[in-house]
């Protein structure tokens, strides 16, 4: 998660995402993959459920 945040914050990557549709699609696909992995985790503990929600919101915010 923090890896993608750092990538987006870098100036040249941010510019590429704004200007190049293919780069934006690649980043969106990587973020969607993270969401799918997160959704596949079992919800055993309420604390884990809250952590999943928090991380999902961060991913969607990117």
Total domains in the fold of the chain: 1
Averaged over 10-38, what is the pLDDT? 78
Going by pLDDT thresholds of 50, 70 and 90, the confidence category of residue 11 is: low
pLDDT at position 10 is 67
Averaged over 14-38, what is the pLDDT? 80
Answer whether 27's CB lies under 8 Å from 6's CB: no
pTM as predicted:
0.60
Q: Which domain holds residue 56?
A: 2-61
> Rounded CA gap, 60 and 9, in Å?
15
The rounded mean pLDDT for the chain is: 77
Determine the straight-line distance between the first and last CA of the chain, rounded to whole angstroms: 10
């Amino acid at each position: 998660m923090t890896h993608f945040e750092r990538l987006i914050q870098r100036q040249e990557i941010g510019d590429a995402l704004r200007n190049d549709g293919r780069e934006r699609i690649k980043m969106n696909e990587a973020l969607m993959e993270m969401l799918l992995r997160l959704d596949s985790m079992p919800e055993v503990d309420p604390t884990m459920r809250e952590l999943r929600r928090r991380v999902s919101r961060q991913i969607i915010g990117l």
